[in-house]
Amino acid sequence: METRKISRSRFDGTNTTSFKSRVAIDTNILVRALIDKNDLLAKILETAQEAHIPLPIFFETIFVLEKVYKQHRDVITNYVSTLISYQNVLTDSEILKDSVSIYRNNKNLSIIDCFALAYSNKNSLELITFDRKLIRGVK
């Protein structure tokens, strides 16, 4: 696999001038970008040829911003929208956009619930669940 792990020395935000052209970004990078005074994430997005952010990383980030940092869903979805607007950010953006749109408009559903709904809608599947909130969302 071409993409290699970013060396530990780069995590302090001081040595961020050179990245591998293809990188994967972890949850802590996405969250810490909002807290710390460093522009590690911005530099990655502005320089990497491919910045992969797998869906579970987005889900964790959304969870943490909502549950730990008590951020409003509008703010969280704006952040996700900005991240996936970068052309070098590679993820399953269509299903993520659908999931985030449901998440923004349904305060009682978690992002995983919304993903389950978006996935089943996209693939014309019947979503089978014991979760009553989700069953209401299906209708």
Partner 1 sequence: MYRLINMEYATLTNQNQITIPMKVRDKLQLKPSDKLVFYESGDSVKVEKLKSIRDFDGLLKGYKHKLTKKDIEGVWLERGSKY
Is residue 78 close enough to count as binding partner 1 by CB under 8 A? yes
Residue 90, SS3 per DSSP: strand
- Environment class of 44 (CB within 10 Å of its CB; exposed 0-12, middle 13-18, buried 19+): buried
Is residue 115 close enough to count as binding partner 1 by CB under 8 A? no
Per DSSP, the residues of 44-60 read HHHH-SEEE--HHHHHH
| Binding region for partner 1 (CB under 8 A) out of 6-14, 17-25, 33-41, 120-128 | 33-41
Nearest distance from C-beta of residue 57 to partner 1, angstroms? 10
Is residue 42 close enough to count as binding partner 1 by CB under 8 A? yes
| Whole-number CA gyration radius for the chain | 16
Pick one of 27, 106, 120, 129: the residue that binds partner 1 (CB under 8 A): 27
Per DSSP, the residues of 18-44 read ---SEEE--HHHHHHHHHSS--HHHHH
Is residue 79 close enough to count as binding partner 1 by CB under 8 A? yes
Pick one of 10, 22, 52, 104: the residue that binds partner 1 (CB under 8 A): 104
**Amino acid, res. 48:** A
Residues in contact with partner 1 by the rule CB under 8 A: 27-28, 31-35, 37, 39, 41-42, 45, 60, 63-64, 67-69, 71, 75, 77-79, 81-83, 85-86, 101, 104-105, 110, 112, 131
